[in-house]
Structures are given as C-alpha cells and as structure tokens.
Amino acid sequence: MQREEKQLDLALDAIITRVNDLKQSISNMIVKLEMEHETLNWPTFLDNFALMSGQLTALTKVLTHDKCPALRNLAVLPIQLSQERDTELLRITEQRVPQFSHDLAPDYLRTKLEPDVEQRMMQLEIKAGNMTFDMAQKQVSAFNKVMNHVWDIVSKAREEWESESGSRTGPQQTTSIGDTHLLVSAVSAGKSLKMPVPQGQPGPQGMMGQGRPGSGPPGGPVGMINPGQQQMGPMGKVPSGIKTNIKAASQIHPYNR
Amino acid sequence: MAQPLSTAIDTAFKSNIVPDQEYLLQGSILDTSVEHLLHRLRGLCDNVDSGPEQFQDHEMCFTIRTTPTPLSLRVRRALDHTDMPWQLRYIGQPEYGDAKRPTIIRSSIDIGCSASVVEFLTELGCRMDFEYLARGYMFRKGRMKITVAKIVKTNPNKSQDSMQLISESYLVELSVLAPRGQDAIAEDMRSFAEQLRPLVNLDKVDYKRLAHGPP
C-alpha cells in the first residue's frame, strides 16, 4: 500500500512540474502578446508554439507512462466546503482561488463537461447515430474526395517548391571565370577579335592578324601613309549593315590614292 | 577669363577636378542567366521606370607604334543612335593595386568627335588593331554605370548576319569615372557588386596575368 502511495506522489510531482512548465510558457506567451505585440515577429511567435507543443507531448508521455498509476481510478473527495477566505489556498493557487466554497468547488473538481456542452455533444451523437449507412458512406466519400484534392494541391506545391529550391541550391552555374577572362581580354587586347590570317595572302590583312604593334615595322622603313593603306582593306570590307562605317571608309579612299 | 585655354586645363588637372580616372569591376554572366541579372539590376538601379536602356556600340581599337609601348586609342560609336557624336577614348594601363584596393583604376580620357576621326587617326599613322560590337543593356545607379553586353566579333568579309559571338556569356562591367583620389566611390562599387553575387562575380581582373595566362 505504502509503495503505491509513494509511486502516486512521484507521479503527481512529475505531472505538476510539467504542468507548471506549460503554464509558465503560456503566461510568457501572453505577456509577449500584450507587451511586445508591436515588435513580435512570426518566427518567435511560432517558436513559442513549438515550445508549448513540446511540453504538451512531454506531459502526455508522463501520463501514459507505465509507472504512472491510473489516475482515472482515483477520486478526489471534497471533505469540507467553507465560505471563509483561505490565505493558504490563495497562496498556492497564485491568488486565483480565495475560498473553497460550494460556488467554486464543482468547477475545479469537474470531471465531466458542462451540462449544456454535454447536451450538444449528445445531440451530435444522436444525429450521427441516426444516419443511414448509405448516407454516411456518401459523406465519407465526399469528404475523402475533398481531402484528396487538397492533398494533391499541397503535394504539387511541395514538389514545385522542392524542385525550385533544389535547382537553386544545386550547383547551377550563372557565371564562368573563363568567360570573364575571355571577354575581358577580348575587349582590352582584342584577343580572338583580330582578323584570322588568310592562307597564302601575305597582305595587309595578314598584318592585321599577326598583330600586335611593336613587333617591328612590316617591311623596313614604312612611311606614315603605308599603315593607312593597310588599314583600308579591312575598313572597306566592314559588314554591309554598318552604313556609316562604309561612308567613312569611302571617304578614306580619295585621300589615300 | 583672360587666361588661355591650355592653362585652364592645366589648372583643372592640377586641382583634380577632371574625371579622368575610371574605377572598374568586371565579370560575366552566362546567356541562360542573363534574365535573372537584368531583373535584379532593374530592381537595384535608378532607371527603374524607364526599363533597361539598350545600346549597340561599335568599337574600334587603333594603335600607333610608340616607344616603349604602343599607344592605343579607341573609337566608339552608337549604331542605334547614328546622330550621336562618335567618341574617341584613351584608356591607360589598369592598376591592379593591392588586395585592399576594391577596384581596378585606369586613366580614361573621353572626347566627342565626328565620324572623320577614323580618317584622322589613319592619317596620323594609327592602324586598326581590332574591332567589335557591344550589344546589351545599360543601367545607372548614382554615379555608377553598369553595362551588360554581348561582345560580337565583326567579320569584314561577310555580311552582318554572320557575326560571331565570341562567348556564351555577357560581359558585365561596373564603372565610375571620377577625378583622381576619390577612392570612396570604389567602396560603394564593391558593396554594389556584393549585391549581385552569386549571380555575377564582379571583380578586379588582373590584366597582367590575363596576358600571360592560358588563352
């Protein structure tokens, strides 16, 4: 007998601490809502909910634990009601319950639902009980249909989201250092932009292709006019779409000849 | 009022009010992702309501043999705005600087000119080293200019249709022209470039390494 009582005490202690934790976080949440509702953001708000949900799970675990005696088999028996203010009661209930009177005791010791709630539950149960099998089946299938539809929508959205985030986190390349170097050296030094060297035609164009100035004059002492004439070739052949350029090129001709 | 023009220019240069320094960051973006970049730039830059400004420029690089290094001059014109003046531009050697410096700095002098500049340069003894088309979009953000452009190789032997794209990417450049010593703008550019990561890595490109590195 004593052993059982000890176990009950232990279990009750555990339950009380859990319930107190839960109460603490609920009151924290209320305080937050009241005091910081302007600065409160969703992540912290949801964090609070997660905390509570964790605590509820812990409480359920304690209640369903093997060592926990079946509480439903135990009865609380109010021995005495009193209209007097009870300071001790006030202290342990955090100023909530001033006296253990006939007015308050039923509410605190209630194990059943309130009568009107109970009545409505009864009504619903009767309604459910009266339903024919076919009707119930119909409703179930309709419900299932709606649920499946919602499920489809949700899973489709999830798939899209996952593929999107997958492609985003994946090694999708948007920039290439090789291309950067290629482009920059093209714009700055003309790499891969210079004319290709025509085969067997060592003319002005060949000079263009080979290139870099400073590699020495192409044929001994070249006058100032010669580079100009070398220029003429490519300039005259600028793509037909660029009309102004052709004009510019045709302007060169009379000067050089 | 009475002082000659040359003296006025000298004074301007001496008092560092001529914006002849170009602060530059460069990068590239693959063709497939350029829409993302344009979208982001539209959000970040000043010309939001008008949309991205398109441009199509033809640039020719002329060189003249001088000692010890050849001097190169660039002629640029807008193909889509033929009424605009042409532009002659001198770009100096880029200074890479140390790791602390946020951008490349190179001197840059621009001058507007007429279409006969090509003839003029040719008469001077310059010859065309290479030419290309730059086609793309331009954005502004304060003093910063951002260009996203395709570099197209012009082929003088063929028609315009056969122009070759030289790469699968767009060249992205972030630049500011400022007078000497205004290094604060470089920090702004760095932080702007940060906002485009990881879409584009706008960075200092080491030209020296580029010249000697693999093609």
Number of domains comprising chain B: 1
Q: What is the mean pLDDT of residues A133-154?
A: 93
A66 shares its domain with A85: no
Does a structural domain hold residue B81?
A: yes
Residue A234 binned pLDDT confidence (cut-offs 50, 70, 90):
very low
Are B82 and A244 a contacting pair at CB < 8 A?
Answer: yes
- Mutation to test the A interface, candidates B106, B120, B130, B161, most A Cβ within 10 Å: B130
Q: How confident is the model at residue A148 (pLDDT cuts 50, 70, 90)?
A: very high
Residues A67 and A16 placed together within one structural domain of the fold: yes
What residues of chain B score a pLDDT lower than 70? 1-5, 48, 155-163, 212-215
Structural domain includes residue B44 = yes
Q: Is the CB of B153 less than 8 angstroms away from the CB of A192?
A: yes
Count other Cβ atoms within 10 Å, centred on residue A175. 23
> What ipTM does this complex have?
0.82
pLDDT of residue A106: 79
Q: Residue A44: which CATH number? A: 1.20.58
Choose the weakest-confidence range: A2-6, A112-116, A222-226.
A222-226
Closest to A12 measured CA to CA, from A80, A59, A57: A59
* DSSP helix, strand, coil percent of chain B (3-state; round to 5): 25, 40, 35
Asked if residue A67 and residue A8 are part of one domain, the reply reads yes
List Cβ neighbours of A122 (8 Å cut-off, separation of 6 or more): none
Q: Cβ A180–B155 below 8 Å, yes or no?
A: no
Cα A199 from Cα B10, distance rounded (Å): 50
Residue at B2 is within a domain: no
A217 in reach of chain B (CB within 8 A): yes
User: For residues B123 and A228, is the Cβ–Cβ distance under 8 A?
Assistant: yes
Q: Are A102 and A119 in the same domain?
A: no
Q: Which of B28, B58, B77 has its CB closest to that of A183? A: B28
Same domain? A54 vs A9: yes
Residues of chain B positioned with their CB less than 8 A from the CB of A189: 210-211
By the CB < 8 Å criterion, does A228 face chain B?
Answer: yes
Q: Would you call B61 an interface residue with chain A, using a CB distance cutoff of 8 Å?
A: yes
Query: Measured between alpha carbons, how far is B207 from B95 in angstroms, rounded to an integer?
Result: 9
> Does the pLDDT value for residue A57 go beyond 70?
yes
Nearest by Cα to B103 from B200, B11, B192: B192
Where does a domain end: A74, A89, A124?
Answer: A74
Work out how many domains chain A is built from and give that number.
3
Kindly report the pTM of this predicted structure: 0.51
For chain A, say whether B190 makes contact (Cβ under 8 Å). no
In a domain, B9, yes or no: no
Domain span holding position B46: 21-211
Query: Higher model confidence: residue A52 or residue B2?
Result: A52
* CB-based contact B129 A187, cutoff 8 Å: no
Q: Is residue A218 part of a domain?
A: no
Is B6 inside a domain boundary? no
In this prediction, residue A1 has a pLDDT band, given cuts at 50, 70 and 90, of low
Tens digit of each residue's pLDDT (9 = 90 or more) over A13-26: 888 999 999 999 99
Residue A225: is its pLDDT beyond 60?
no
Q: Would you say how long chain A is, in residues?
A: 257
B154-165: string of b/e by CB count within 10 Å (b at 16+)? bbbeeeeeebee
CATH number reported for the structural domain that contains residue B116 in this entry: 2.40.320.10
- Per the structure, the complete domain to which residue A84 belongs is given by 75-111
**What are A89-139's pLDDT values in tens digits?**
888 888 888 888 888 887 788 777 788 889 999 999 998 888 888 888 999
pLDDT score recorded for residue A207: 40
Question: Could you tell me if A89 and A51 lie in one domain?
Answer: no
Q: Answer whether residue A80 is part of any domain.
A: yes
Tell me if A121 is assigned to some domain. Answer: yes
Contact between chains at A189 and B211 (C-beta distance less than 8 A): yes
Strand boundaries in chain B, DSSP class E: 21-30, 53-64, 71-78, 86-91, 104-113, 127-141, 144-153, 164-165, 169-178
**Highest mean pLDDT of the ranges A30-34, A244-248, B147-151:** B147-151
The answer to whether B130 and A210 have CB atoms below 8 angstroms apart is: no
Q: Is A30 inside a domain boundary?
A: yes
User: CA A34, A35, A41, A44: dihedral to nearest 10 degrees?
Assistant: -90
